Structure 1
Amino acid sequence: MSAQLKEWGSQISLLEAKMDNLSADMKIKRTHEIQALRAKQHAASDQMEVLGKESGESWEQVKLTADKIWNDLKIGLADAQSKFK
């Protein structure tokens, strides 16, 4: 999971690099999307840390939250990538 988070971080960085070729209006719009992706990436990373520290019932609750954040990041990144093509 850690490797996947790093990979997604690299993909977000690639999207940031592609912003140089956009118009000013599109840069603003895409900047907000990338900021949202970075926030999701950080939230996923934080949840992974918490998950590693929990056990038992607490672990199950944290895992459910981590799974949702993970899925949101995955979907958000795929959506952003489709807009940059």
Structure 2
Amino acid sequence: MSDREAYEKKLQAQLDQWQAEMDKLKAKAEAASADAQLEYQKQIDKLEEQRQDALKQMEEFQEAGDSAWKDMRAGMESAWASLNESLEKARSRFKK
């Protein structure tokens, strides 16, 4: 398996994990009071937007030529770290 293939599998696994986490947050939001649901939904919507951006980046990465994917990697990792941080913040808010 090439470095690129391994990296793509890592990215897909991360996307799958984020989706599972977001599904858990959605379930918690549904069980919350009406006022809390509104706040939770705002956070979930923001996370979904970031996840869609990450998915788009992954698709662009998959379409990139062999020489370009390494250059794209640093930018992707920064964006993905931002999404992961947002997910962690939302998760901590949902625990309150």
Q: TM-score range by the shorter chain?
A: 0.7 to 0.9
Root-mean-square deviation (CA, aligned residues, Å) is 1.4
One-letter code aligned to 2:46: A
Q: What code does the residue aligned with 1:24 have?
A: A
Equivalent residue for 1:3, pick from 6, 13, 20: 13
Please give the alpha-carbon distance, in whole angstroms, between the structure 2 residues aligned to 1:46 and 1:28.
27
Structure exhibiting the larger radius of gyration computed from Cα positions: 2
TM-score normalised by L of structure 2? 0.77
Percent of pairs identical after alignment? 29
Distance 1:54 1:30 in 2: 36
Structure 2: segments with no counterpart, 5+ residues: 1-10
TM-score normalised by structure 1 residue count = 0.86
Question: Equivalences for 1:1-85 in 2 at 5 Å?
Answer: 1-55=11-65, 56=67, 58-59=68-69, 60=71, 62-85=72-95
How many pairs align? 83
